[in-house]
Amino acid sequence: MPPGPRILRPVWILTVLAAGALPAAGQPKGSPPASPPAPAAPPQTPGFSVKPSDIVLPADVPPGQYRRSFRPYPNWTLICDENLARRQKVCNIAQTILGPEGGPVLSWSLAANQGGEPLFIIRTPAGLGEKGEIRLDIPDGGPSLAVPVSGCDAKVCLAYLPASPRLKSAVAKGLTVGVSYAPGTPAGAVSFKAPLDGLSAALGGL
């Protein structure tokens, strides 16, 4: 079944949310709620510390005005970050594949570029290198896709893949994609499957 407009409608970045509660007395309408002053850090026993949040606040968002939510679907998770002060919401849909030793061999998410067009952001272990490439085999009779690595740091390599009509069709059908890459030498090549099943349902949750 060919992909319809429902699969990739323009809902990747949700900017304006519905108005929240009424403003407090004396507060101008439309202005964000005032943030309470940050309490002073209590003294701590030497050698002990409070573990900080796993969510790093953007520099322009005050504490208490940022929220991250997770909605699991089959094989994929819808992740949304909200700036409550500005009533802005940004979402992506992610999947992580674990290898035999329990570590991630691939993590990819469907998001939007600056122009609002959907694309896959692909992450692999750093050993793949900046000259490496990731091959995707879509079981639709077409050729495999070669996705070049865009850059690496000490922990991860990144690649970007626009959501072409062929990929949109694979998402609509819930196909399982073959993934392979060769970090270092061909002897170190790895290959595995990554299911697209569930991604269409997660898109419907936006």
Which domains does the chain possess? 50-204 (2.60.40.1880)
Q: Of 5-19, 51-65, 119-133, which one has max mean pLDDT?
A: 119-133
| 37-to-33, 47, 63, 66, 203 alpha-carbon distances in Å | 12, 27, 9, 16, 38
Question: What is the pLDDT averaged over residues 179-201?
Answer: 87
User: pLDDT-based confidence at 10, cuts 50/70/90?
Assistant: very low
Mean pLDDT of the residues in the chain:
81
Lowest mean pLDDT among 5-14, 23-32, 101-110: 5-14
pTM above 0.85, yes or no: no
Over 80: is that where the pLDDT of 9 sits? no
Token pair in block for residue 70: 């997770």
Element (H, E) at 199: helix 199-204
User: pLDDT-based confidence at 6, cuts 50/70/90?
Assistant: very low
Lowest mean pLDDT among 40-54, 93-107, 136-150, 170-184: 40-54
Token pair in block for residue 145: 């896709």
Over 90: is that where the pLDDT of 96 sits? yes
User: pLDDT-based confidence at 43, cuts 50/70/90?
Assistant: confident
Query: Shortest CA distance to 74 belongs to which of 206, 205, 197?
Result: 197
What's the pLDDT at 47? Answer: 84
What's the pLDDT at 46? Answer: 87
Under 8 Å between Cβ of 130 and 151: yes
User: pLDDT-based confidence at 183, cuts 50/70/90?
Assistant: confident
pLDDT digits (tens, 9 = 90+) for 108-147: 999 987 788 899 999 999 889 888 999 999 999 999 999 9
DSSP helix/strand/coil, 33: coil
Q: Where are the alpha helices (DSSP H) in 67-188?
A: 165-173
